Amino acid sequence: MKALVKTLGPVEAERFVMIVQREPFDYTRWSADLFEDIPLDELNRRAMAWQTTRRPDDMTTRQE
């Protein structure tokens, strides 16, 4: 939960948990198949674009 809150913030983390609990699906399988049809270079481009939208304090890591 700490990782979700740190990454998504408290509201989005709670929303994520509610969705996962509400819908009967295999999250592990879903996440493995999520980017299956996207070429690696396109996935990299999207990840880099997403990273530029993050605030600098969102990108820090804490030793816990």
* 39 domain residue, yes or no: yes
Number of domains in the chain: 1
* 12 domain residue, yes or no: yes
* 13 domain residue, yes or no: yes
The stretches in the chain having pLDDT less than 70 are 23, 55-64
pTM over 0.75: no
Give me the torsion for CA of 15, 16, 19, 25, rounded to 10°.
Answer: 180
How does pLDDT run across 26-37, given as a tens digit for each residue?
778 887 788 888
Residue 11: count other Cβ atoms within 10 Å of its Cβ: 9
Range of the domain at 6: 2-54
* 62 domain residue, yes or no: no
Q: What pLDDT shows up at residue 27?
A: 74
Q: Which residue's structure tokens are 């913030």? A: 9
